[in-house]
């Protein structure tokens, strides 16, 4: 039986997607090394300089985003005086990269990422706080680290849902960072992020490499991201509710926008 032209074209497109994904994966690694090695050398000679590292990481995030085919539609982050807690809904392992293009902050990531080849090492070297979300002691230590980081004058980026998903409504937020923000009088800046295709979310049993190849093997990956105005208050439960309500409303609008633009 002679394969149809449609079948052949589909196979060719799959091969192009696969090889483009591999190419971009190595581009991602080499670009990361290009920025990471000077940071490590500088740290070895002059000691750790977190402010310098965060600035360099922001440049890295901007370059990597373009090189792997991601196009982000985003508003301007608010101008916050002093440290703050950036809070976002969670779709993919790429979420922090998208946010760190715009802001200088220390992300909180799940501890499993620290064991990923190269990525875990790079994250450790550039300032990431690890948390085992199922472990109460780990969560407590992470909250303490968040408090110390904010007191030192650095911002924090958190994903308080604890896991990725594709639902419109965000999952219940863990409250530890909000308690710290309320006690220290530090503002919370909400971030809403949404990808054009539900398949771009990293959910279920997907493993990192296959998901990266299938997602970033496409010609373009489209993302919408919105920063809200700083939210302050001494009642941490109110901070949680106001932040979550704002994010949920923005996600609905962004998802609606994707449907109207025909990019879902």
Q: What is the pLDDT of residues 147-196, one digit of tens each?
A: 889 999 999 999 999 888 999 999 999 999 999 999 999 999 999 999 99
* pLDDT computed for residue 125 by the predictor: 62
DSSP-derived letter for residue 115 is G
What is the phi/psi pair of residue 115, to 5°?
A: -95, -5
* pLDDT computed for residue 206 by the predictor: 75
Q: How far apart are CA 66 and CA 130, in angstroms?
A: 27
9-33: pLDDT as tens digits: 778 888 899 999 999 999 998 998 8
Whether residue 236 contacts residue 181, with contact meaning beta carbons closer than 8 Å, is answered with yes
* pLDDT computed for residue 160 by the predictor: 93
Q: What angle do CA 79, 191, 166 make, to 5 degrees?
A: 170
Number of domains composing the chain: 1
Mean pLDDT for the chain overall: 86
* pLDDT computed for residue 159 by the predictor: 93
Q: How far apart are CA 225 and CA 195, in angstroms?
A: 9
**Containing structural domain, residue 94:** 5-261
| Helix axis angle, 5-46 to 208-216, nearest 10° | 120
pLDDT higher than threshold 80 for residue 252:
yes
pLDDT higher than threshold 80 for residue 139:
no
82-111: pLDDT as tens digits: 999 999 999 998 999 999 999 999 988 665
245-249 contact pairs (CB < 8 A, 24+): 246/190, 246/192, 247/87, 247/88, 247/89, 247/170, 247/190, 247/191, 247/192, 248/168, 248/169, 248/170
Q: How far apart are CA 179 and CA 147, in angstroms?
A: 10
What is the phi/psi pair of residue 186, to 5°?
A: -90, 135
**Residue with tokens 């909000």, as numbered in its chain:** 178
Give the full edge-to-edge strand order of the sheet including 70-74. Answer: 70-74, 221-227, 188-195, 85-88, 155-158, 105-110, 129-131
CATH number for the domain harbouring residue 195: 3.40.1130
Whether residue 87 contacts residue 160, with contact meaning beta carbons closer than 8 Å, is answered with yes
């Amino acid at each position: 039986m002679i394969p149809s032209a449609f079948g052949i074209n589909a196979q060719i497109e799959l091969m192009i997607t696969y090889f483009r994904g591999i190419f971009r994966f190595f581009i991602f690694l080499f670009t990361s090394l290009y920025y990471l090695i000077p940071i490590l050398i500088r740290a070895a000679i002059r000691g750790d300089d977190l402010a310098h590292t965060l600035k360099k990481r922001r440049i890295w995030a901007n370059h990597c985003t373009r090189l792997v085919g991601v196009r982000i539609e985003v508003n301007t982050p608010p101008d916050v005086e002093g440290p703050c807690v950036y809070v976002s809904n969670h779709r993919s392992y790429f979420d922090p990269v998208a946010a760190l293009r715009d802001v200088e902050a220390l992300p909180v990531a799940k501890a499993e990422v620290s064991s990923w080849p190269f990525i875990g090492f790079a994250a450790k070297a550039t300032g990431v706080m690890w948390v085992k979300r199922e472990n109460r002691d780990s969560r407590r230590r992470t909250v303490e680290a968040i408090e110390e980081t904010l007191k030192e004058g650095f911002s924090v980026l958190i994903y308080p849902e604890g896991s990725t998903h594709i639902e419109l409504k965000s999952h219940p937020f863990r409250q530890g960072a909000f308690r710290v923000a309320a006690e220290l009088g530090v503002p919370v800046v909400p971030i809403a992020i949404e990808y054009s295709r539900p398949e771009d979310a990293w959910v279920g049993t997907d493993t990192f490499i296959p998901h990266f190849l299938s997602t970033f093997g496409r010609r373009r990956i489209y993302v919408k991201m919105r920063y809200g105005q700083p939210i302050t208050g001494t009642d941490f439960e109110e901070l949680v509710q106001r932040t979550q309500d704002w994010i949920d409303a923005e996600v609905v609008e962004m998802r609606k926008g994707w449907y109207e633009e025909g990019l879902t």
